[in-house]
Amino acid sequence: MSEVERHNVLMKPQTLDSVTGEVLVRKSTGKQRIRKGQTVEQYNEQLYQYFQVEKGPMQTPEGWMSQDVMNASEKNDLSLKQNRLVLLNWAYKMYYLGEWDKCDKYCLHLKDLFGPYNLGKKKIQKEMEELDYMIEKCQLKVVAKQLQDNL
């Protein structure tokens, strides 16, 4: 038996209960694991969240980074990760274009905006840590640039 056939035999799930959706899966180590199913209510709730609340897949228009998204930050719902990441991408753009002073001010502004949503949630904590890191690096770059200009 070839390696690919062996892998497919190990990984092919076997249905245990069609009502709950539980399946028995074998790992590559040979151990068996029961994968939890999803009820119809959970599936419908997930569909509602995706299509009604988050409005489905987000289509990014061409040239979106040239639009004035920075000033529209107050009217975006920042509890959604997609909206927060759009604003973070502006900070990345400023940093990589070498506009460190603007990036520093903008990151501080974003930190104030994201603050009310940072209620111990890990996903927002990571974004806040990223903002802290960018603020630190921008300030170092600004100081280095000032020292270089003084020489």
What residue spans define the domains of the chain? 3-42, 66-150
Residue pLDDT, tens place only, 105-117: 999 998 888 888 8
Cα 112 to Cα 12, 116, 124, distances in angstroms: 49, 8, 13
Per-residue model confidence (pLDDT) at position 56? 76
Q: How confident is the model at residue 72 (pLDDT cuts 50, 70, 90)?
A: low
Q: How confident is the model at residue 123 (pLDDT cuts 50, 70, 90)?
A: confident
Q: How confident is the model at residue 135 (pLDDT cuts 50, 70, 90)?
A: very high
pLDDT for residue 3 is more than 70 = no
* Average confidence (pLDDT) over 129-138: 93
d(CA 107, CA 33): 44
Higher pLDDT, 85 or 3: 85
* Average confidence (pLDDT) over 18-46: 80
Give the chain's radius of gyration (CA, Å). Answer: 23
d(CA 110, CA 102): 12
